[in-house]
Amino acid sequence: MSSAPPPDAGSSVPAVEMHGISKRFGDVVAVDGVDLQIGDGEFFALLGPSGCGKTTTLRMIAGLDIPSEGRLAIFGEEVASWPPDRRPVNTVFQAYALFPHMTVAQNIAFGLQMRGIRGADADRQVAEATALVQLEGMEHRRPSQLSGGQQQRVALARALVNHPKVLLLDEPLGALDLKLRQEMQVELKALQREVGITFVFVTHDQEEALAMSDRVGVMSEGRLLQVGTPAEVYEHPANRFVADFIGRTNLLEGVTESSSAVRLDAGAVVAAANGLAAGSAAALSVRPEQVRLHRRGETPAGAPCLDGVITDATYLGHAFVYTVAIGPTAGASGTHASERAATITARSETGSAALAAGEPVSVSWSPEATTVVAD
Amino acid sequence: MPSLRRAKPAAAQSTDAGPDTPPSLTPAELAAQRRKRRTGTLIATPGALYLLIFFVVPLGLITVYSFATRTSTGRTSLSGWNLNSYERIADDVIGGIIARSAWLAFLTTVLCLVVAYPFAYYLATRPPRLRARLLVLVMIPFWTNGLVRIFAIRFLLGSNGPASALSEAMGFGTFRILFTPTAVVLGMVYGFLTFMVLPLYVALERMDWRLVEAARDLYASGAKAFWRVTVPLTRSGIVAGCVLVFVPSFGSYVVPEILGGAKTLLIGSYVARQFQAARNWPLGAALSVLVIVAMLVAVAINQRNSANAERTQGVTR
């Protein structure tokens, strides 16, 4: 697991620090030994498929779930056993969880009231928070009279008005339609810069995580698999799951020959740096946009190259996506029985010449653009 | 339904309706609508007839009688209409009975609420399978004869009963609450508790507990989250339960008759007495009308309350 240090910002004390945090519900291990440091002022995304433990991790930071094991500190204070109302964090819940019996202003004022802030001071802070999320004029509406996007803003204001040290967001954009979601991604990012609060963001949408966050933690089956900047996890996935989950990739199965070459099941030895012992099962991850297609025989020298046949060509407007069958079924002579067929997805800009299904091609990529991943 | 819809264009063509004609119903649609209405009327008829004969007619008679005159022999004369019976309601004796009935009904309602809310809360927060079993337990007393249950309480509270024996054994002396208002309230709480538990259970079961988590996240202690979020959001259940307990407690007849003494004359017993021993049907009828009006007011409050609850919570659910 490559664990990049958090980018330095603000204080040197991490906003959130987890050591060996686990959470069990009966026999089910929801979170399994998570170690994580989130820096002050960071926009951190916890990314993973549903059921991977990311929401439970967030709930443990909020205090809504108490860890079964491990240490949890917020700005250096051990909070693992504190109730949620004592923690300097606030949450934007997945379905917003706005109080339906209160107006927008009452919802936003709730946290202030609970901390004994009332009167003119509270009114001023509520007005500020309302302005921050651009909800002026909606103060006296009920949540049920608002659109999804507006409800989302109320939830944000209700949390931010308390100036939490860490803001937790549980799939806050999940209930919005695509266009609004993309707008809110930009807005949330800008908002985080404006308020300078540490954001911990849970999402299953890898594009969202890559687009918004300073660092991403990828989770699967309760474990934190990799933590790094979006570029790090995209370009250098730590293992097969991360490679497959983040973006689209071609995973070419094979066995390492040496620390610099992999024998692919599809029947070629290609140069690929890896830190594995020779003879270990591994897969070569090649992103579709890194794959180059050539007419058979026009292959560039020096680059790993496989022969194949286009089986499908899809026009996407801005790009073509090709599926190329490689390996024994691709018609190459002298194949070994051990070689297995594979397909590669390639993506190319529409400007280049279109290729048709059935065309024999060669595929290549630059060795630096690939990562060897083990299980 | 889909087949009906598909039939529409064909019917429209047959009547030569052009594409520009305003959207009016085709003969096929009208016929379907008539059929539907006829079916509706048919299936409602038995129930409507039953209610008409055994509810509307007697209610009408009661109302008519309440304006009639009691002759000196105790008969009811339908010749001279007057408001004498209603004027008597303001009487000290009757006013006292009404006030006492309302007070005991109020006590019963409050006690039921205090006992039922934690219990319903417990029920609603159990795993679904356990919930179903516990609900059956709540319903079991309902399947037992009410009179038997009240007599059992009478035995329990009696000066020779177990409660008294226990109190004596513990050195508190004999236990004398049978035939007092306390016994009546205890009996009514027992008798009507289910009416409180069920609406509260329904409200709590529908409760979105994430809202409580949100409150806790926003610095509310457990108690504050309860008062500021759980209670307001289960208000419809609280009001419904209170109405359902208050109304029958107010007009209760059986429980006060069995557990109450001579000093605990309540309106239910008093009305019964007018129709029986006192042979003053107009007064009994007038009091009945009063009780019914009070109940209707309570029901109206309940209806407005649930409409409000739907308005404020409908969309976010």
- Whether B73 contacts chain A with CB within 8 A: no
Across the interface, whether the CB atoms of A144 and B213 are under 8 A apart is answered no
Q: What is the DSSP letter of B219?
A: T
Residue A366 lies in a domain: yes
Q: A202 with A120, same domain?
A: yes
| Same domain flag for A80 and A194 | yes
User: Tens digit of pLDDT for each residue in A243-299?
Assistant: 989 888 888 888 888 888 888 887 778 877 787 888 888 888 888 888 888 888 777
Domain identity same for A89 and A169:
yes
For residue A219, what are the β-bridge partners? A224
Q: Looking at the domain assignment, is residue A6 inside a domain? A: no
- Which residue carries 């740096």 as its tokens? A273
**Are A235 and A287 in the same domain?**
no
Q: Domain total for chain A?
A: 2
Residues A342 and A316 in one domain: yes
Evaluate whether residue A312 is within a structural domain.
yes
| A358 located within any domain | yes
Pairing of strands A250-258, A223-228: unpaired
B217 touches chain A (CB under 8 A): yes
Residue B69 vs residues B85, B86, B179, B283, B308: alpha-carbon distances, Å: 8, 11, 34, 9, 44
Q: Which residue has the tokens 């249950």?
A: B149
- What is the Cβ-side half-sphere exposure of residue A349, based on CA atoms within 13 angstroms? 2
- Angle of helix B162-169 relative to helix B146-157, nearest 10 degrees, comes to 20
Instruction: Examine residue A363 and state whether it is found in any structural domain, yes or no.
Output: yes
Residues 6+ apart with CB under 8 A from A314: A320, A321, A322
Alpha-carbon gap: B232 to the closest alpha carbon of chain A (Å):
7
Is the sign of the CA dihedral A103, A109, A115, A121 positive or negative? negative
* A264/A255 Cα distance (integer angstroms): 6
Of A62, A98, A151, the CB nearest to B217: A62
Inter-chain contact B214–A99, Cβ cutoff 8 Å?
yes
Q: Which of A211, A240, A269 is the last residue of a domain?
A: A240
Q: Tell me if A7 is assigned to some domain.
A: no
For residues B164 and B168, give the distance between their C-alpha atoms in angstroms, rounded to a whole number: 6
Residues A33 and A50 in one domain: yes
User: Residue A159 in contact with residue A91, Cβ under 8 Å?
Assistant: yes
C-alpha distance from B316 to closest chain A C-alpha (Å): 5
What's the rounded Cα separation, in Å, for the pair A245 and A241? 6
Q: How far is B216 from chain A (nearest CA, A)?
A: 5
Residue A288: per-residue pLDDT: 87
C-alpha B199, offset from chain centre: 10
Task: For residue A217, list its beta bridge partners.
Answer: A46, A227
Q: Which helix (H) or strand (E) holds A192?
A: helix A178-195
Partner residues linked to A362 by β-bridges: A294, A307
Q: What is the pLDDT of residue A293?
A: 85
Distance in angstroms (rounded) separating the CA atoms of residues B60 and B171: 56
Is B37 buried (19+), middle (13-18) or exposed (0-12) by CB count in 10 A?
exposed
> Which tokens in the block code for residue A146?
């608002």
d(CA A150, CA A156): 10
Q: What is chain A's Cα-based Rg?
A: 25
Q: Angle, to 10 degrees, between the axis of helix A119-132 and the axis of helix A148-160?
A: 130
* Per-residue pLDDT reduced to its tens digit, A229-254: 999 999 889 888 999 898 888 888 88
A chain contacts of residue B314, beta-carbon cutoff 8 Å: 144
- Which residue type is seen at A296? R
DSSP E strands, B33-182: 69-70, 76-77
CATH at A294: 2.40.50.100
Q: Using a CB-CB distance cutoff of 8 angstroms, which residues of chain A are in contact with residue B228?
A: 110
Where in A26-140 does DSSP place strands (E)? 28-38, 43-47, 69-74, 77-78, 89-92
CB contact under 8 A, B214 and A83: no
Q: In order along chain B (317 residues), what is the average pLDDT of each group of 10 residues?
A: 40 45 78 89 91 92 90 80 85 88 95 96 93 88 84 86 83 81 92 93 94 96 96 92 91 89 84 88 90 86 76 48
Angle, CA B53 vertex, CA B50 and CA B59 arms, to 5°: 120
Range of the domain at A42: 16-240
Same domain, A231 and A260: no
Residue A129 sits in the same domain as residue A220: yes
Q: Would you call A319 exposed, middle or buried from its count of C-beta atoms within 10 A (0-12, 13-18, 19+)?
A: middle
Q: How many other CB atoms are there within 10 angstroms of residue A102's CB atom?
A: 19
| CB environment B260-288: b (16+ within 10 A), e (fewer) | beeebbbbbbbbeebbeeebbbbbbbbbb
Q: Which residues of A touch B215 (CB under 8 A)?
A: 99, 110, 114
CB–CB of A28/A254 below 8 Å?
A: no
Greatest Cα pair distance in chain B: 96
Nearest chain A residue to B208 by CA distance is A97
What pLDDT sits at residue B22? 56
Q: Search chain A and give the residue with CA nearest B218.
A: A111
- Same domain? For A195 and A282 the reply is no
pLDDT the model gives residue B279: 87
Residues A266 and A309 both lie in one domain: yes
Boundary-marking domain end, from A240, A266, A295: A240
Are A324 and A223 part of one and the same domain?
A: no
Question: Is A85 in Cβ contact with B221 (below 8 Å)?
Answer: yes
Which of these three, A240, A259, A274, is where a domain ends? A240
Structure tokens at A201: 């963001």
Instruction: Determine, yes or no, domain membership for A11.
Output: no
**Segment (H or E) for A364:** strand A360-364
Chain A interface, Cβ < 8 Å to B: 62-64, 83-85, 89-91, 93, 95, 97-101, 110-111, 114-115, 142-145, 151, 158-159, 162
Size of interface A-B (CB pairs under 8 A): 77
Based on the fold, state whether residues A158 and A132 are members of the same structural domain.
yes
The answer to whether residue A3 sits within a structural domain is: no
Is residue A18 classed exposed, middle or buried when 0-12, 13-18 and 19+ CB atoms within 10 A define those classes? buried
Domains and CATH numbers, chain B: 92-313 (1.10.3720.10)
DSSP state of B81: -
Q: Residue ranges of chain A with pLDDT lower than 70?
A: 1-11, 302, 327-341, 350-353
Rg of chain B taking only CA atoms, in angstroms: 27
**Binary contact (B219, A145; C-beta < 8 A):** no
- The CATH number that applies at residue A230 is 3.40.50.300
- Cβ contact B113:B238 at 8 Å: yes
- Residue A305: alpha-carbon gap to chain centroid: 31
Closest to B263 in 3D by CA, of B155, B184, B173? B184
Which residues of chain A does B233 touch, with a Cβ-Cβ cutoff of 8 Å?
A: 100-101
- Name the closest residue on chain B to residue A158, using Cα atoms: B218
Is the Cβ of B219 closer than 8 Å to some Cβ of chain A?
Answer: yes
Chain A interface test: which of B217, B221, B236 (most A C-beta within 10 Å): B217
**Nearest Cβ partner of A85 from B219, B235, B314?**
B219
Does A100 contact B312 at a Cβ distance shorter than 8 Å?
yes
Distance (Å) from the alpha carbon of B19 to chain A's nearest alpha carbon:
36
Report the DSSP pairing between strands A370-373 and A250-258.
Answer: unpaired
Q: Which residues of A336-365 are buried (b: 16+ CB within 10 A; e: fewer)?
A: eeebbebbbbbbbeeeeeebeeebebbbbb
